Amino acid sequence: MHDIREGSDGTGLRVGIAVASYNATITDGLLGGAIDAARDAGVADDDIVVVRVPGALEVPLAVAQLARSKSYDAVLALGAVILGETDHYTYVCSETMRGCGEISLETGVPVGFGILTCRTLLQARDRSSTPTKNKGREALVAALAAARTKRALDALHGGTP
């Protein structure tokens, strides 16, 4: 019996991070949490690449380029979409999530989804500035776990992705 479990060791893993500049006070906090988590897991600073894009809708394209390069074991999507007065929020949230999910399935590269979809700025601040609730940290940890699981499965199947 093979019982494959995710691991939290990031040693030797390369991570690409696509982060939206829009709502920078929030996304900078998410990015800080993600980088701290990567370092805590043993990912070397030289193995972390950060790509900044204008907003959440641009994140999937950057995620796709990072994942398709096959240079990264995990890719992270970071951004913040806060409910406004129009339907724009709904479309941005759903299209960003759909795009990132499709990229992960298409490329086989784990994509951590750290795009906040909050009703208020206060909710977004709480999820990006509090170390224990930082969703950038959580998304990075999940992406590393998925990358380790993928490596274990690849090894089990003779390196075939």
pLDDT score of 133 more than 80: yes
pLDDT given at position 5: 67
Active site positions, annotated: 88
pLDDT given at position 110: 96
Mean pLDDT within 110-125: 95
Mean pLDDT within 132-156: 92
pLDDT given at position 87: 83
Mean pLDDT within 12-28: 97
Between 153 and 65, name the one with better pLDDT: 65
Largest CA distance in the chain: 54
**Long-range Cβ contacts of 96-101 (<8 Å, 24+ apart):** 96/56, 96/57, 96/59, 96/60, 99/59, 99/60, 99/61, 99/63, 99/64, 100/59, 100/60, 100/63
Domain positions in the chain: 15-154
15-154 maps to CATH 2.40.50.140: no
